[in-house]
Homo-oligomer: A and B are copies of this chain.
Amino acid sequence: MHVLVIGAAGMVGRKLLDRIAAEEGILGGGIDTLTLVDVIEPAAPRTLAGISTTKAADLSDPGVAEKLIASRPDLIFHLAAIVSGEAEADFEKGYKVNLDGTRFLFEAIRLESAKAPYRPRVVFASSIAVFGTPFPDKIGDEFFTTPLTSYGTQKAISELLLSDYSRRGFFDGIGIRLPTICIRPGKPNKAASGFFSNILREPLAGQEAILPVDENVRHWFASPRSAVGFFVHAATLDLEKVGPRRNLSMPGLSALVGEEIAALKRVAGEKAVRLIRREPDATIQKIVAGWATDFDTRRAAALGFKAETVFDDIIKAHIEDELGGTL
């Protein structure tokens, strides 16, 4: 099997590759070729270096998609995107990368399939940003997509294209709407959602973290481990069972910031909690107030997608996967 990962240098991409390297056959068969692409050259997992090709390329540049698809990968993970803030700040770049890049990929597959039978699996990273306020407390599987960002618009359009190209038989696609990933590894960043991870990750490492919102703010979470699990499951799932509605809100855990902190206390004790410094930020509070807080994800659950159900497990996954298993 030839596997192509576009966006392989990103956090989810790297974790997905680690998982593929760690568990042989996890994608439903032996892998003989792995092609890894990102705008900066991605690293191949050490144990798969012999079968890997790494490339620095931008999917939204003309000709890139055709070259990637000419070798007919069987399974394609499309994780490449510029993030919400950048897509809002740079309108043209957002549409170029997040919409045109995706459409170029889909078109390259369609044109390749017209030459000789070819119907790869395409697993696409979408986002709950396809939804915009006002929405119900729990967003159901049939709620309409009314994005309030250009990023969300680009993801919603990509979802529609993915469904139509799948319906026409050009490829077999599935779109995965990720919850907010928590605990995001790495350094604190300036993303408005960063604090949800920062207030756990930093104290677990003995560092101070800033909480800009109230403890009664509710949000929608899954661990990086669960996110990788979604993509792996989507790669092997029988898509006949999914039917024509190919885009799914993934399971997650709806939790208050206060519940995050209570879990931190249970797992790492009061000394960790004392490292959280409250510093209210009206700008961040306003942004966060527009975000979805809970989802009814029964379609995804019925199809076997799984996420954490208690916050302690999200913290424990971080300790196991990032901190060597102990504090």
Residues of chain A having any CB pair with chain B under 8 Å? 91, 110, 132, 142-148, 150, 153, 156-157, 160-161, 163-164, 167-168, 244-245
Q: Which residues of B contact A157 (CB under 8 A)?
A: 157, 160-161
Which of B144, B146, B150 is in CB contact (< 8 Å) with A244?
Answer: B146
Q: Which residues of B contact A142 (CB under 8 A)?
A: 143-144
Residues of B with C-beta under 8 A to A167: 148
Bound Cα distance from A144 to B168, whole angstroms? 20
Inter-chain contact B144/A144, CB cutoff 8 Å:
yes
Q: Is the CB of B245 within 8 A of A146?
A: yes
* A148 B91 Cβ-Cβ under 8 A: no
Q: Chain B residue with minimal CB distance to A148?
A: B244
- Chain B residues with CB under 8 A of A144: 142-145
Instruction: Evaluate contact between B145 and A160: CB separation under 8 angstroms.
Output: yes
Are A153 and B146 touching (Cβ within 8 A)? no
In-complex Cβ contact of A145 among B132, B145, B153, B168 (8 A): B145
The one of B91, B132, B147, B163 that contacts A146, using a Cβ cutoff of 8 Å: B163
How far apart are A278's CB and chain B's nearest CB, in angstroms? 33
Q: Which residue of B lies closest to A111 (CB)?
A: B92
Other than A91-B168, A142-B144, A147-B160, give 7 A-B pairs with Cβ distance below 8 A. Answer: A132-B244, A142-B143, A146-B245, A147-B163, A147-B164, A148-B244, A160-B160
Please name all residues of chain B whose beta carbon is closer than 8 Å to the beta carbon of A145 when the two chains form the complex: 144-145, 160
* A59 nearest CB across to chain B (Å): 18
Q: Which residues of B contact A143 (CB under 8 A)?
A: 142, 144
Contacts A144-B144, A144-B145 known; A161 to B168 CB distance under 8 Å? Answer: no
Which B residue's beta carbon lies closest to that of A164?
A: B153
A299 shortest CB reach to chain B, Å: 12
**What are 9 residue pairs bridging A and B, where the CB atoms are less than 8 Å apart in the complex?**
A143-B144, A145-B145, A146-B163, A146-B244, A146-B245, A147-B160, A147-B164, A153-B160, A157-B161
A110 vs B95: C-alpha distance when bound (angstroms): 13
A156 to chain B, nearest CB (A): 5
A38 to chain B, nearest CB (A): 26
A146 contacts across to B, CB distance below 8 A: 163, 244-245
**A150 and B164 in contact, given A143-B142, A144-B142 (Cβ under 8 angstroms):** yes
Contacts of A150 in B (CB 8 A): 164, 168
**Chain B residues, CB < 8 A from A168:** 91, 150
Chain B residues with CB under 8 A of A161 = 153, 157
Least CB distance from A157 to B in Å reads 5
**Cβ of A164 to closest chain B Cβ, rounded Å:** 4
Name the distance in Å between A319's Cβ and chain B's nearest Cβ: 38
Shortest Cβ gap from A237 to chain B (Å): 19
Task: Please give, as numbers and ranges, the residues of chain B lying within 8 Å of A164 by CB-CB distance.
Answer: 147, 150, 153
Contacts of A160 in B (CB 8 A): 145, 147, 153, 156-157, 160
A265 to B126, CA, bound (A): 53
**B residues near A148, Cβ cutoff 8 Å:** 167, 244
Nearest-neighbor residue (CB-CB) of A153 within chain B: B164
